[in-house]
Amino acid sequence: MSIRLRRSDRAGQRADDPEMGEALPSGAEVVWLHGNSTERRAGLCDLGARLRVLRPDLRIVMTAWSKNAKRINHLCRGCDGVEQVLRDNAQDAQAFLKRWSPSICLWAGGDVMPTLLDRTRAQAMDMLLLDLGSNDLPRAARRRWFLTDPGPQALDRFDDIMVTDTEARDAMRRLGISSSKIDVTAPLRATAMPPGCPQAVLAETADMIAGRPVWLAVHAQRSEFRPILDAHRHALRLAPRLMLVVIPDQPTDIVELERRVALSGLSHVNWSDGGEIETHTQVVISEGGPTEIGLWYRSAPIAFIASSFASGTGGRDPEPAAALGSAVIHGPNIGLHRPSYELLRRAGAARMVLDARTLADAVTTLTAPDIAARMALAGWQAVTEGAPLMDRLIDMVLDRLDRRKVAHARA
């Protein structure tokens, strides 16, 4: 990646084309997000979702320099529009700005487009550059900048520039960017939004569990029921009081799950039907609505994120579990959530298993409270690192939108 001009003979195109411009009401506030990597787009989409909670009428559009429209759309389902940007020219820039009339732009990473950014001046749009690291800079720019290179002029279009390391900060200063615009921040990344759970329900459930070791298998596919139950039987040999909570990925599979558990000979209750945990209960079956998932993430110090033994499912996000204090176990098929698992793995907060036997071994090891606690703390720290930056960006965006609205009212 590098900060440079984008030139191409290919025409720009939209990843989805639902007659975008027609859906915008008059005077709509539009936040324009641009990310040059999957991780940055995920962080921006998370930011957009949080902004929409606070300001439901806000419109969100994502642009990305990418040929993979399907992948972009998958990550940006909460956006009102997603557009591929395949060239930087005046015609495409003008068409995009006319279609959306953004109020503010948050551009994450390098690959700035001078022509597109120059056209934003006519709209007096607030511009924020985020998550710029030294790896985003051309090698020459780390030492000096050539006068013929348009990069500094394009960068100066941004009102604020947030860099992730001092090398990038110093490079910006050498380019002539005012120090007042530059700030060193944590990297941009999506932050987990775990489901909630009433405190009274959590306390009542803790009384039922009565200090027993608990592990959770969540988002389980039908093909994973057997290895999960086999792993539990193996683990029970070394930890007889161990209890398993299973949440199927599809609520319609709960009948099949009950049948499989009954055939396994394990004593069980259906929590969603009002079953109560007793001292002999070995398996709890839960339908897995948001409150129930929030409850079990908080109650189980060990979480196997399923849909990871089964192939072709795309995997499931491990960060809500880590954010609520669970040590994470997963299989090899983690799909589009690989960056999140890599983050947890580097922090020492996740373990990969391959089958029922290795799953049982991991669960048994993690029933030692000190090991699970270390992993849980590392996971929590890893997934909440970006929370202060996310809060700051939300405040910055809302403040700028409010000021813009006041200025228009006075005009």
- Domain positions in the chain are 13-190+386-410, 199-384
CATH class in words for 199-384: alpha beta
- Reported confidence tier of residue 83, pLDDT bands at 50, 70, 90: confident
Reported pTM = 0.71
Burial class (CB in 10 A: 0-12, 13-18, 19+), 172: buried
215, pLDDT greater than 50: yes
- Reported confidence tier of residue 18, pLDDT bands at 50, 70, 90: very low
* DSSP 8-class letter at 240: T
- Reported confidence tier of residue 146, pLDDT bands at 50, 70, 90: very low
Amino acid at 263: L
Q: Do the domains spanning 13-190+386-410 and 199-384 agree at the CATH topology level?
A: yes
CA atoms within 13 A on the CB side of 167: 11
**CA 256 vs CA 227, 269, 324: distances in Å:** 15, 14, 29
The tens digit of pLDDT for each residue in 301-333 reads 999 999 999 988 989 999 999 999 999 999 999
145, pLDDT greater than 70: no
408, pLDDT greater than 80: no
Q: How far apart are CA 36 and CA 251, in angstroms?
A: 36
The pair of three-digit structure tokens given for residue 197, joined into one six-digit string? 């759970």
Judged by average pLDDT, the poorest of 135-149, 223-237, 343-357, 360-374 is 135-149
Look up the CATH architecture of domain 13-190+386-410: 3-Layer(aba) Sandwich (3.40)
The tens digit of pLDDT for each residue in 260-301 reads 999 999 999 999 889 999 999 999 999 988 889 999 999 999
Average pLDDT, the chain: 85
User: What angle (nearest 5°) sits at the alpha carbon of residue 361, between those of residues 355 and 366?
Assistant: 125
* DSSP 8-class letter at 103: S
- Where does 199-321 show beta strands of DSSP type E? 214-220, 243-248, 268-270, 283-285, 302-305
Burial class (CB in 10 A: 0-12, 13-18, 19+), 124: exposed
**Which whole number is the average pLDDT over 140-152?**
45
**Residue whose structure tokens are 């499989």:** 260
